[in-house]
Amino acid sequence: MKIILLFLAALASFTVHAQPPSQTVEQTVRHIYQNYKSDATAPYFGETGERAITSARIQQALTLNDNLTLPGNIGWLDYDPVCDCQDFGDLVLESVAITQTDADHADAVVRFRIFKDDKEKTTQTLKMVAENGRWVIDDIVSNHGSVLQAVNSENEKTLAALASLQKEQPEAFVAELFEHIADYSWPWTWVVSDSYRQAVNAFYKTTFKTANNPDEDMQIERQFIYDNPICFGEESLFFTR
């Protein structure tokens, strides 16, 4: 009983000292969109840490999706959900309508034009949640549907495809891999060992993200990343003996 009382006291103390968001929901939303100008840097939807504009659960979903994507490939996040675009000019935010559902959740219905001279308008709902003293985006719902549901759905499909390859016997597992070798629903980096996958990721980061050589001069290096080694390469290519 004493332990329970101490736990409740600690919980009450945490609740009392919880820092409320320093900005209102509308201020936060307007601050996000004000950076969508030709002379400004728009926030990255997949950002993590203190600069993140999204909630923890969206970050977790995007991180998983990134991990399930082959190095060098683009995962689900191939556009900016905040502006529902891949490119923008001087975005014009026409209206922001806030509906507070409770102390920690709110809906922000925004209407904007991606380009200043564009007549076409986009309307979508930003599902906002209060986390760590800030309002952040917990989901975006547009005529395409829910961002969070879309990411989770893609992750679930990839994980299900990987799970379907698993067999009790190694011979059956290898046979299953070759049966689906032309099926691009599963990343080959997730049917190899952790050390192999880490080597591939490290090779990609050091060779392609830091090198200044044009792609045509890196044909051999490219095969280590873009070719499925189960049928085109050898694991030993990534290790020194």
Domains annotated on the chain, with CATH: 19-144 (3.10.450.50), 151-238 (no CATH)
Cβ neighbours of residue 59 under 8 Å, at least 6 residues apart?
46, 48, 52
Q: How far apart are CA 174 and CA 4, in angstroms?
A: 53
- Given a contact cutoff of 8 angstroms between Cβ atoms, the answer to whether 40 and 94 are in contact is no
- Given a contact cutoff of 8 angstroms between Cβ atoms, the answer to whether 186 and 68 are in contact is no
Token representation of residue 191: 């049917």
Q: What percent of the chain has pLDDT over 90?
A: 46
pTM above 0.85, yes or no: no
Per the rule left: phi > 0, alpha: psi between -120 and 50, beta: everything else, 132 is: left
Q: How far apart are CA 21 and CA 136, in angstroms?
A: 10
pLDDT, tens digit (0-9, with 9 covering 90-100), for 120-159: 999 999 999 999 999 999 999 999 899 999 999 999 999 9
Token representation of residue 183: 């099926």
- Given a contact cutoff of 8 angstroms between Cβ atoms, the answer to whether 25 and 135 are in contact is yes
Strands (E), 143-239: 145-146
pLDDT, tens digit (0-9, with 9 covering 90-100), for 181-206: 877 778 888 888 888 888 877 877 77
